[in-house]
Amino acid sequence: MIKDRIKDVIKTGGEWLSSLDLENLISQHPSVAATAVVGVPDEKWGERPHALVTLKPGETATLEDIQSHLRQFVDSGEINKWAIPAQIDFVEDIPKTSVGKINKKLIRDQLQ
């Protein structure tokens, strides 16, 4: 469905940000098992990225760890600094649909 694909991008401050690209970059952190990124409403910017992260067994990470990890991609020009989520929730499990895909609609509904 096209509506779902459109929501794979986040419009923040008039710029488009791919949630899939951001998920890929977060997933490169050595402690991260899985991640989902959605846009959440923001009065100032329209939308802001919000990430859900599950960690590998026995691993730990903080908001600051993930943000610091993403700064290397800002420095290399892959993403803009405003793409780094200010909100990252560490969760046991990321909601999935009946066919095993990340359920971004449910995640957005839960965060709003």
Of the chain, the percentage scoring pLDDT greater than 90 comes to 88
The predicted-structure confidence for 31-68, as pLDDT tens digits, reads as follows 999 999 999 999 999 999 999 999 999 999 999 999 99
DSSP, residue by residue, 27-70: HTSTTEEEEEEEEEEETTTEEEEEEEEEEPTT----HHHHHHHH
What is the model's pLDDT at position 13? Answer: 87
**Architecture of the domain made up of 2-111:** 2-Layer Sandwich (3.30)
What is the model's pLDDT at position 7? Answer: 57
**Domain definitions of the chain by residue range:** 2-111
pLDDT confidence of 2, banded at 50, 70, 90?
very low
The predicted-structure confidence for 3-21, as pLDDT tens digits, reads as follows 445 558 999 888 899 999 9
